């Protein structure tokens, strides 16, 4: 392999694996680094279920052959809906073994620009040149913690991304902050692990989504909505075309993104599992104090309560500086808008040859990049940018 012409993929989650698989299929020399499905396996609580529909959870493969369906057929497994997290992790690892067998389970320490390419430094001190880099670093570094909790130690406050299991909270009083899927499901799992749980939601109500898991043969008008699992019958058609979404005027693309990703909400199948969870809705936190080894929270209605632990299900906010492997000079050269990278055709940044896939691409290419179904658009677009017309057209996100 001529390393100077190599494309490096950083990350081995769905986006990294899909992009690497497409590049390899067209003959591009690729080196891929990371642990397969690591964030999904080690930074999401055991027992979680995917909110995404079955049809929207296939990792993009060049031949459309490494699907959830084939994985289940090969293993002789039933096809549960919703999909258990553990099953999806196993699917991603199965995908990696077949599509990206040369994955290197090493970590990238630093990426630096040379002006005509990049220098890659690994944590084991190996260095080598690369022509292009695809950053598929995932969302874990972007976990957002409200600043009022900064003074508290880890034994009193944590983010949902800090846990692979919630079983250790059995018998403890836990406040879950948030009103989206992660907050609601974490509260349910905590209760099922015999924790005493209070859910604290700032919004005026909990929004429940009507998930139809039986839409295997939808009418044409709803086909895009079913296949990507976001948006409405009309908006989903546009959201499913990320390369087209990129060309929309900013005011229109922002409006469409809001319609496709509404305020925090949870799948309706969670409701019965929350029957024993105390809920405080419509109030924000005004004070956070540490008292006698516990956390005391003051609310905007003047009330307060304490707990053994606060679990933050407060989402993720893109900040490229949190990708520690991006060198300082390289970061300065990346054009951003409100901390999001500004990307062009092929999900390429203002630094020639540097691509971002997954969540960092969502501001430019739309909300589909927040979900597994976005791997289709991302992998195709990056590959087409690198190899030209011999790559498949980007098309829809399936």
Q: Is the dihedral of CA 23, 25, 26, 27 positive or negative?
A: positive
CATH of 3-142+316-390, one of 3.10.310.10, 3.40.50.2300, 3.50.50.60, 3.40.1710.10: 3.50.50.60
Is it true that 3-142+316-390 and 147-203+263-312 share their CATH fold?
yes
pLDDT digits (tens, 9 = 90+) for 122-137: 999 999 999 999 999 9
**147-203+263-312 sits in which CATH class?**
alpha beta
Residues 6+ apart with CB under 8 A from 70: none
Burial class (CB in 10 A: 0-12, 13-18, 19+), 379: buried
Joined together, the tokens standing for residue 178 give 């948030």
Local structure of residue 316 (DSSP, 8 states): B
pLDDT digits (tens, 9 = 90+) for 235-292: 999 999 999 999 999 999 999 999 888 778 899 999 999 999 999 999 999 999 999 9
Q: Where are the domains of the chain?
A: 3-142+316-390, 147-203+263-312
pLDDT digits (tens, 9 = 90+) for 6-38: 999 999 999 999 999 999 999 999 999 999 999
Residue 3 scores a pLDDT above 70: no
Residue 209: what pLDDT?
A: 84
Residues 6+ apart with CB under 8 A from 50: 57, 82, 83, 84, 85, 88
Joined together, the tokens standing for residue 335 give 């054009």
Straight-line distance from the first to the last Cα atom of the chain, in angstroms, rounded to the nearest whole number: 32
Pick from 22-26, 196-200, 207-211: least confident: 207-211
Higher pLDDT, 396 or 107: 107
Q: Determine the Cα–Cα distance for residues 87 and 2; give it in Å rounded to an integer.
A: 37
Q: Determine the Cα–Cα distance for residues 155 and 177; give it in Å rounded to an integer.
A: 16
Q: Determine the Cα–Cα distance for residues 396 and 393; give it in Å rounded to an integer.
A: 9
Q: What does pTM read for this prediction? A: 0.95
């Amino acid at each position: 392999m001529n390393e100077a012409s190599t494309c490096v993929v950083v990350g081995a989650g769905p986006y990294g694996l899909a992009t690497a698989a497409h590049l390899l299929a067209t003959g591009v020399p690729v080196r891929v680094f990371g642990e397969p499905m690591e964030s999904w396996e080690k930074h999401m609580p055991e027992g979680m279920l995917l909110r995404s529909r079955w049809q929207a959870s296939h990792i993009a493969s060049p031949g459309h052959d490494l699907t959830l369906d084939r994985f289940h057929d090969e293993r002789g497994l039933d096809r549960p809906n919703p999909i258990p997290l553990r099953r999806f992790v196993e699917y991603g690892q199965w995908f990696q073994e077949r599509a990206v067998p040369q994955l290197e389970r090493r970590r990238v320490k630093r990426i630096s620009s040379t002006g005509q390419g990049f220098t890659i430094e690994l944590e084991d001190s190996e260095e080598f040149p690369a022509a292009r880099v695809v950053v598929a670093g995932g969302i874990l570094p972007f976990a957002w913690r409200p600043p009022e909790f900064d003074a508290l130690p880890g034994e009193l406050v944590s983010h949902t991304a800090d846990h692979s299991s919630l079983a250790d909270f059995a018998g403890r009083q836990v406040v879950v902050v948030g009103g989206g899927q992660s907050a609601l499901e974490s509260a349910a799992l905590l209760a099922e692990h015999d924790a005493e749980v209070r859910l604290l939601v700032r919004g005026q109500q909990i929004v429940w989504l009507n998930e139809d898991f039986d839409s295997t043969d939808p009418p044409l008008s709803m086909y895009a909505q079913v296949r990507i699992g976001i948006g409405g019958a009309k908006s989903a058609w546009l959201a499913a075309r990320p390369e087209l979404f990129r060309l929309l005027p900013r005011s229109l693309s922002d409006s469409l993104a809001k319609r496709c990703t509404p305020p925090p909400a949870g799948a309706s199948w969670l409701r019965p599992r929350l029957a024993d969870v105390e809920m405080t809705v419509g109030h924000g936190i005004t004070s956070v104090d540490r008292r006698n080894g516990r956390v005391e929270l003051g609310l905007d209605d003047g009330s307060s309560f304490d707990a053994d632990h606060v679990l933050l299900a407060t989402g993720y906010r893109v900040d490229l500086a949190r990708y520690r492997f991006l060198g300082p000079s390289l970061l300065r050269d990346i054009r951003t808008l409100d901390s999001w990278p500004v990307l062009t055709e092929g999900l390429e940044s203002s630094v020639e040859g540097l691509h971002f896939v997954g969540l960092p691409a969502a501001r430019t290419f739309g909300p589909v990049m927040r979900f597994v179904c976005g791997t289709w658009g991302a992998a195709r677009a990056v590959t087409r940018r690198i190899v030209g017309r011999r790559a498949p057209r980007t098309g829809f996100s399936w």
